[in-house]
Amino acid sequence: MILITGGAGYIGSHTVIELINAGYDIIVYDNFSNSSHEAIKRMEQIAGQPIKVVDADIKDKAKLRETFKNYSINAVIHFAGLKAVGESMQKPLKYYNNNISGSICLFEIMSEFGCKKIVFSSSATVYGEPRSLPISENFPLSATNPYGRSKLFIEDILRDIAISDNGWKILLLRYFNPVGAHTSALIGEDPNGIPNNLMPFISQVAVGKREYLSIFGDDYDTPDGTGVRDYIHVVDLAQGHLKALQKIDDIQGTVAVNLGTGKGYSVLDMVGAFEKASGKKISYKIVKRRLGDIAVCYANPSFAKEFLGWEAKLDLAKMCEDTWRWQSKNPKGYDTIHQA
Ligand code: NAD
Ligand code: UD1
């Protein structure tokens, strides 16, 4: 049985589907602080089977212990965490408590039950401002905000755990920019309030929920002056987790792997691709740069291919089509009444 913390969230929900499709027995552990029970219902609809769920916090060690007692868990995929960079700067303690203290509780209970295999959701944010491109796993690590620092700290904790006990098998998956949705349009990204990230913002403009996109700067040293990122389809990303689980028995200690496509697209490229996929005009205004943004960020994905036998397959057109299908069929996200 695989325990999936944060399994009701955006990336977790897509990963649950890939794992069930591959025949894994899974259990979701989520406190629904940034997700909904409706997501679980829809995941069940896609999977064609009920999904076991523990509605609890990873900081609740009694509940974690009970879960490990009730199920024979042999590996964990650890998605649970808060992820809004801006909010982490306003409320650093909330982020450190939830992400770092929560992870420590989880790792303690795993140790207690001798469960020493974990796939951790890290982020390209741990590379800080990269000195060159594309970004490889051996680049220096740094953090520029409490969210990023929480990811880096959890990576460090896991590296220390592996040094202290060579029974641990730990995969640190560093995601680039996940976008897109399941092709069924039953599950997708459902941000609370005003989206911080580009793709959900663009899709809300397309659906008429927002008037225009603010593009944060057009004076970067990039071909069209707007920021460049490595967008990756969430289903590709989910399949990366499947490969990670299939590989985990072969490793010892910690291994970090980039999950990206290796291709960079600018904000204007994304606007153009989304207009094409949706047939909608995306109005935008150029505004000043967002504090803390870097100009360009894309992965060297070759280690993922060599080590996990995984590479991203879905292109930008598919990322935009699937985002649009999800957004247009669910204008209110999971609050949309769905007709099967
Ligand atoms: P998400 O917010 O959709 O999912 C996270 C899930 O964790 C939510 O369902 C939430 O309810 C749950 N959760 C949060 N704190 C919890 C706690 N204390 N106990 C139990 N459950 C808790 O986010 P996502 O986009 O699916 O991201 C998943 C992971 O990947 C996160 O750790 C995030 O930091 C990391 N990540 C995300 C991105 C991205 O752009 N989406 C990029 C890099 C890394
Ligand atoms: C965000 C996170 C980062 C995380 C990464 C991967 C922030 C500040 N950083 O970074 O920690 O690791 O996702 O998921 O949230 N843009 C606009 N207008 C908008 C929104 C974004 O022009 O309304 C631009 C940004 O300046 C950037 C690009 O679009 O050039 C992508 O932005 P975003 O989706 O927020 O991702 P990242 O900045 O890469």
> Per residue in 161-217, pLDDT tens?
999 999 999 999 999 999 999 999 999 999 989 999 999 999 999 999 999 999 999
> What pLDDT does 339 receive?
52
Strand ranges (E), the chain:
2-5, 26-30, 52-55, 75-78, 117-123, 169-175, 177-179, 213-216, 228-229, 231-233, 253-259, 265-266, 284-287, 296-297
- Return the ligand number nearest the Cα of 201: 2
Band (pLDDT 50/70/90 cuts) for residue 153 is: very high
Catalytic residue among 95, 147, 220, 334: 147
Ligand 2 mutation target, pool 82, 127, 177, most atoms within 8 A of CB: 177
Using alpha carbons, list the distances in angstroms from residue 243 to 18, 163, 233, 311, 319. Answer: 10, 24, 16, 10, 21
| In-domain check, residue 62 | yes
CB of residue 259 inside a 6 A radius of ligand 1: no
Range of the structural domain that residue 328 is part of: 2-335
Q: What percent of the chain has pLDDT over 70?
A: 99
CA angle 239, 275, 340 (to 5 degrees): 55
Kindly give the distance from the C-alpha atom of residue 79 to the centroid of ligand 1, in angstroms, as a whole number. 5
Which residues are near ligand 2 (CB < 6 Å)? 85, 123-125, 147-148, 177, 196-198, 201, 213-216, 227, 229, 267, 290, 292-293, 297
Band (pLDDT 50/70/90 cuts) for residue 336 is: confident
Report how far residue 16's alpha carbon sits from residue 41's, in angstroms, rounded to the nearest whole number: 13
Say whether pLDDT at 73 is over 90.
yes
CA angle 78, 184, 55 (to 5 degrees): 35
Band (pLDDT 50/70/90 cuts) for residue 116 is: very high
Say whether pLDDT at 340 is over 60.
no
Q: Give the number of other Cβ atoms within 10 Å of residue 41's Cβ.
A: 13
CB of residue 59 inside a 6 A radius of ligand 1: yes
pLDDT tens, residue by residue, 287-307: 999 998 999 999 999 999 999
Instruction: Identify whether 147 is a catalytic site residue.
Output: yes
> What pLDDT does 275 receive?
98
Say whether pLDDT at 56 is over 60.
yes
Band (pLDDT 50/70/90 cuts) for residue 273 is: very high
- Return the ligand number nearest the Cα of 196: 2
Report helix, strand or coil for 229.
strand
Which residues share a beta bridge with 133?
none
The minimum-distance atom of ligand 2 relative to the CA of 289 is 26
Joined together, the tokens standing for residue 233 give 């389809």
pLDDT tens, residue by residue, 10-39: 999 999 999 999 999 999 999 999 999 999
Ligand 2 mutation target, pool 234, 271, 284, 293, most atoms within 8 A of CB: 293
Q: Return the CATH number at 264.
A: 3.40.50.720
CB of residue 102 inside a 6 A radius of ligand 1: yes
Report how far residue 213's alpha carbon sits from residue 206's, in angstroms, rounded to the nearest whole number: 10
> What pLDDT does 36 receive?
96
| In-domain check, residue 212 | yes
Band (pLDDT 50/70/90 cuts) for residue 64 is: very high
> What pLDDT does 290 receive?
95
Angle of the 234-247 helix axis to the 10-21 helix axis, nearest 10 = 60
Stretch among 6-10, 278-282, 332-336 having the lowest mean pLDDT: 332-336
| In-domain check, residue 54 | yes
> What pLDDT does 117 receive?
98
Residue 90: φ, ψ to 5°: -80, -35
Rounded mean pLDDT, 253-269? 98
Rounded mean pLDDT, 87-95? 97
- Of all protein residues, the one whose alpha carbon is nearest to atom 41 of ligand 1 is 178
Say whether pLDDT at 97 is over 70.
yes
| In-domain check, residue 205 | yes
> What pLDDT does 96 receive?
98
- Return the ligand number nearest the Cα of 199: 2
| In-domain check, residue 340 | no
The minimum-distance atom of ligand 1 relative to the CA of 33 is 11
> What pLDDT does 292 receive?
87
Kindly give the distance from the C-alpha atom of residue 160 to the centroid of ligand 2, in angstroms, as a whole number. 30
Kindly give the distance from the C-alpha atom of residue 190 to the centroid of ligand 1, in angstroms, as a whole number. 12
3-state DSSP helix/strand/coil % of the chain, to nearest 5: 40, 20, 40
Rounded mean pLDDT, 93-111? 98
Q: Report how many domains make up the chain.
A: 1
CB of residue 178 inside a 6 A radius of ligand 1: yes
Say whether pLDDT at 338 is over 70.
no
CA atoms within 13 A on the CB side of 307: 21
- Return the ligand number nearest the Cα of 296: 2
| In-domain check, residue 86 | yes
